Amino acid sequence: MPQIRVYFAFRSPYSRLGLHRLAEAGHDVDLIVFTGPPEGMPFTDPVQNPAKLAYYREDVVRMTKRAGLPFNPPKPFEVDYTAADRAFVAANAAGKGMEFAIAVSDARWGEGRNVSDQAVLQDCMTAAGLDPALVETAQTDDAVAETFAAQRALHEQDQVFGVPFMVAESGKYWGHDRIDIMLEDLGVA
């Protein structure tokens, strides 16, 4: 099967939809936490644009309902994702990255939980089938920091500007609604 790199972020409800679609498709992918665009490339935050934010509020509910998933806006909305990102890297290294990423995304966007809270992340680690203590150890693990550095180089190489963003031999695809097109292009749909 062709290799597919998938950039995602817990901040994005569209990443959640993409993770569910990829898991449903059953194809192994290389998940990478999106920690921001390449150096020198501006990040256009959709919540800073009132018209775009209003559209997102409408579209996210519509698309989540269409996917058959619950939707509860997270409270608080803006949180620090560092702990969740680090815990994801540890879960991914343990072979449960997709499960953990979906558990965190569902906790945030399906249950409205604060994914910067260690207890929430421990619940997600348990849901992924891993030891919840991994959340705490990931925060100071040198291997996690090394993985972030290596993945940051991939952000630059792939010129990632948003999520979900997929890179495959057939090209680049941005948006959860492009996953089926990517799979068709790769002949694995």
Q: Can you give the pTM of this predicted structure?
A: 0.93
CATH value at residue 71 = 3.40.30.10
In the prediction, which pLDDT does 50 show?
Answer: 85
Query: What is the pLDDT at residue 1?
Result: 58
Count of structural domains within the chain = 1
Number of other residues whose CB lies within 10 A of the CB of residue 16: 28
pLDDT at site 96? 98
Please identify every stretch of the chain with a pLDDT value under 70, giving residue numbers as ranges.
1-2
% the chain with pLDDT above 90: 77
Q: What span, in angstroms and rounded, lies between the C-alpha atoms of 130 and 67?
A: 27
* Contact residues for 1 (Cβ-Cβ < 8 A; gap 6+): 27, 28, 188
- Which pLDDT does position 109 carry in this prediction? 97
The contacts of residue 122 (CB under 8 Å, 6+ apart) are 132, 133, 135
The domain of 141 spans: 5-186
Given a contact cutoff of 8 angstroms between Cβ atoms, the answer to whether 1 and 188 are in contact is: yes
